[in-house]
Amino acid sequence: MSRSLLLAALMAAPVVAIAAQDHPLVGAWKITYAGGVRVENGASTPIEATAKLTVEVQGDSLIAHFVPDPVEGRTRPPFRLAALNATGAVTFIQRSEGTVTMNGLEEQRSVTTRWTLMVSGDTIDGTIDRSIEGLNLPTGGPKPVSGTRQRS
């Protein structure tokens, strides 16, 4: 009996490892997203940005390395995201500090960003939704994220 269980476990282990690497998000992506929001006279306008997103499986998690391209002449630091390795849409939560400029004055604020991503073949789609601590400004709700898989 114990030999049967051991044999079954040994045969199943490679399948689990292979399945983990087959998550559709795994790989390199060039994405377009709302890199911020400009609010003038009560009207919000998304600031379009691009980045390289690289996703890999580590254990039961998806680890994303995000390298933003400069936006409006400003470089932004790369960052790391993690989410549970699940089927369907995957949600990454990012907590960071952001610069808010109001009436010419800059302030640092805590920002929570929810990235929800879904893959179909070599296309990625989803949304980015931000909330800025201490500010109740109109952001217009979730903004679209789109991109394509990058081949070596």
pLDDT in tens, 75-128: 989 999 999 999 999 999 999 887 777 778 888 888 889 999 999 999 999 999
Name beta bridge partners: 58.
Answer: 61
Categorize the per-residue pLDDT at 3 as very low, low, confident or very high, splitting at 50, 70 and 90: low
pLDDT of amino acid 50: 97
All structural domains of the chain: 2-150 (2.40.128)
pLDDT of amino acid 134: 79
pLDDT digit string, tens, across residues 38-71: 777 777 788 899 999 999 999 999 999 999 999 8
**Identity at 138, one-letter amino acid code:** P
CA distances from 125 to 108, 111, 119 (A): 30, 22, 6
Rounded Cα distance, 65 and 140, in Å: 27
pLDDT of 36 higher than 90: no
